[in-house]
Structure 1
């Protein structure tokens, strides 16, 4: 069924839920690697990559299961309740990391992140609910609400680590000998608070609108009378769907890759200590989130959404990402080298030329370019591609049943979270940051090429006009859209 008008209360609530879940999920990014190294000195970058990949694997599974549940039950609230409970369990498990033996730390972190990934599957029913409760003309704003909550939460979450730095490594004792609140586990406490706010709001504020039984009966009677044999909407273009999903995969693969390597890059290339790297990236995340928030608000509440052209903005932003990588690339003509300062085993600053053979030839790109490039790419450019791509994808689908297809769209994002930490840390360890940047450029250029080649297939789906015959043989016209549900 097609909505007659947009239910903005539901749409905005889905945006708030998206902000809550992504904030509590991403708040760990800035401090997790340093926390792992503190509790287990033998932990490696590759091991951290596997922890991040486990989290994304859970997200991938959660998206499909909760999306399928949404489509099967025709309701969004039950799977979302389950998702919030799984996120709560994830934060509670993370609090146990302090009290387990050092060789168990990585495994407990994996369990916590796996449960959190399952809970993040909420993104599928949220996106489906926002799409179902919005009209075709308001779809850009509805998707901006969901994408805005996700993107802002993803960049603001890590930035909130600045709030916890004053607690220090020791912090405040809550249960003597068992539990304390410090800068490393404070994200779990905040995650519990945010998750509980989302769970209670879902119970108190969310009123889901579904087709009434009388509407279903009317539809059945109509179809029996006129002997309907065709679907109202044609099948979605699989190629167009795959390109949208690949675009989401590639853009997030790039972002996750840079976020995963950022702490190590700052310590290796710019000689920052662990605390300095955490503070500088947290500041960068907050700045990025502030800019992205302003843009999403403008898209949702002003006419800025009318200039967001789906195909043009997707291709343009992908090329701008390439420019970002070229600007921050470690070109040979830079004079400064990562070996200008000797590697320190105490602070882990500098490039360890004993373990990394690529240190000898690696130059230092401008530090200001690293920060400005990140802020522009993920604060200024990313919101436009998130809205444009999500809007076009939702318009490629039948508006009445998008649960499973929206879960596949979210899986394309979570798949990037699975593979990016593993492959990028592997490439970084063996070949260095230059090969990482070159690999990301190739992915972006290939995806842009697909948008150009299949331009004519990347168009919204349109309903089919049908001709019906009644029992007396007279031709009847059936409207392409049956408006029985007021959303």
Structure 2
């Protein structure tokens, strides 16, 4: 005797209780009009093809992936807020435009290699080797980043190369997401995908907090063993090296054991003879998948734009020093991490009341859109103009290179002409916008990943997740370039007006595609229900 329940698209729960005679008796439970998309809960059947030991190993490996995801987010963001001041220290002539290129180097590497790594994991039938290789590259790239001061020349290009390598290492995100989809049942998937997204965002947000905590080290030249440079920038890299070594050991076969269950669940539910038979001949809804991937692009574009721009924006708008900017932004981002935690843990109970696609729109992108509006400046005055301490040279007569060589200037540099006539952003606006983004981004990130894994169904998702990661990385490539071109040349009004338009466009597009996305997910479950009905008819005929 077992109990199988399916949450339907309309909010009903269809159940089949097998009696002693083996006849399926359907029942229906209703939870309201806005109930979530169907989720299979089949604990008795799962116990039949998974022992308690296998389940324990399956979840231990999932927890390792959570940590690895956290590490990748941490590796990206720990050095992110320090890129500009570190670059300025290594090469004062580099400028903000080259900073944008350096920040874009990380997602460019991930964008180019994530689909390849995802495809490799599908072909090899194992995720261990791709994951171990990515972690090794991550560790090496952070060692290199921390030793950049030892290079005698071309430091800005070496920094770009190290960030590119770190991006390649982050391609393991495609493998992590596809494995989560394969190693969880449908009833577990939303929560598991939410958790992996939670740890990724936690890494994104805590990273700058670590950088802020290292600010007392200053940017002076201190050395360990008379060779290794140590300051508030390189210390962040060494922390990543330590975490990378730890993470590599967690992916040893004695700790990480592959236990895929999604295809087995689909085989049982569909009475299929093989895993491939559960999805072969059934194409995914490309429009629904494409809509979610485009949404993922815009979600990441807005987030990385704000996180990358945080340090130079606050230095320009509020006249903060480099050290003050890192410290206060770090505090703000740690606070944002707490807000993100609340948002993530609210997802699971909310999906029991509302459809995931609607939570994505109103709890994700709507918050991001309003947050973008708050970044359009309305201050009464213009930003403070840069002044160099102990220097009588008129800034208006300085070239860009001369200005960049002055590391003590505070405020908006005269080379950004818009500073002289554009209203200043207020600190209140910036804090409100960041709070809204801290709520919207994690919600959107978790639900997009959950929805697309359900739209794709039980098929191997390594390549698809690689494409999605690559598209998200494209957003992180274009975000810094957007800063270099739009923010540096045209200012805050143009920058954040455009991001506001993008966010509202995706809100309207998701609303128009809402029913289609839900139908695409229901398609993979409908066959299960049909099979149950056939079984009922067969049993009825036998007993008749």
Aligned to 1:351: 412
How big is the shift at 1:351?
2.0
In 1, Cα distance between equivalents of 2:361 and 2:97: 33
Aligned to 1:417: 476
- Counterpart secondary structure, 2:187: coil
In 1, Cα distance between equivalents of 2:342 and 2:239: 24
Aligned to 2:423: 363
Tell me: CA distance 1:261–1:376, structure 2 relative to 1, closer, same or farther (3 Å). Answer: same
User: Residues 24 and 195 of structure 1 are in contact (CA less than 8 Å); yes or no, is this contact kept in structure 2?
Assistant: no
The counterpart of 2:365, out of the listed 315, 318, 321, is 318
User: Residues 234 and 463 of structure 1 are in contact (CA less than 8 Å); yes or no, is this contact kept in structure 2?
Assistant: no
User: Residues 97 and 105 of structure 1 are in contact (CA less than 8 Å); yes or no, is this contact kept in structure 2?
Assistant: yes
The counterpart of 1:189, out of the listed 226, 235, 238, is 238
How big is the shift at 1:368?
2.2
Residue-by-residue CA offset, 1:366-409 (whole Å, 9 max, x unaligned): 2022023213312x222221222111110011323111111111
Residue-by-residue CA offset, 1:26-62 (whole Å, 9 max, x unaligned): 2101111101001111011110111111211101123
* Cα RMSD (Å): 2.9
How big is the shift at 1:256?
0.9
Q: Which structure's relative contact order is higher, taking Cα pairs within 8 Å and 6+ residues apart?
A: 1
Tell me: CA distance 1:402–1:20, structure 2 relative to 1, closer, same or farther (3 Å). Answer: same
Aligned to 2:375: 328
The counterpart of 1:154, out of the listed 204, 207, 226, is 204
How big is the shift at 1:67?
0.4
Map residues 47-446 of structure 1 onto 2, 5 A cutoff.
47-101=98-152, 103-170=153-220, 172-176=222-226, 178-203=227-252, 204-209=254-259, 231=279, 234-297=282-345, 299=347, 303-307=349-353, 309-316=355-362, 317-331=364-378, 334-339=379-384, 341=385, 343-344=387-388, 345-353=406-414, 355-378=415-438, 380-446=439-505
In 1, Cα distance between equivalents of 2:338 and 2:246: 22
The counterpart of 1:455, out of the listed 502, 511, 514, is 514
The structure number with the bigger radius of gyration is 2
TM-score, normalization: structure 1? 0.86
- Counterpart secondary structure, 1:52: helix
In 2, Cα distance between equivalents of 1:21 and 1:139: 21
Aligned to 2:18: none
- Unpaired segments of 5 or more residues in structure 2? 1-41, 48-54, 389-405, 537-544
TM-score, normalization: structure 2? 0.77
Aligned to 2:8: none
- Counterpart secondary structure, 2:65: helix
User: Residues 205 and 336 of structure 2 are in contact (CA less than 8 Å); yes or no, is this contact kept in structure 1?
Assistant: yes
Equivalences, count: 454
Tell me: CA distance 1:283–1:330, structure 2 relative to 1, closer, same or farther (3 Å). Answer: same
- Unpaired segments of 5 or more residues in structure 1? 467-475, 480-487
Tell me: CA distance 1:223–1:386, structure 2 relative to 1, closer, same or farther (3 Å). Answer: closer
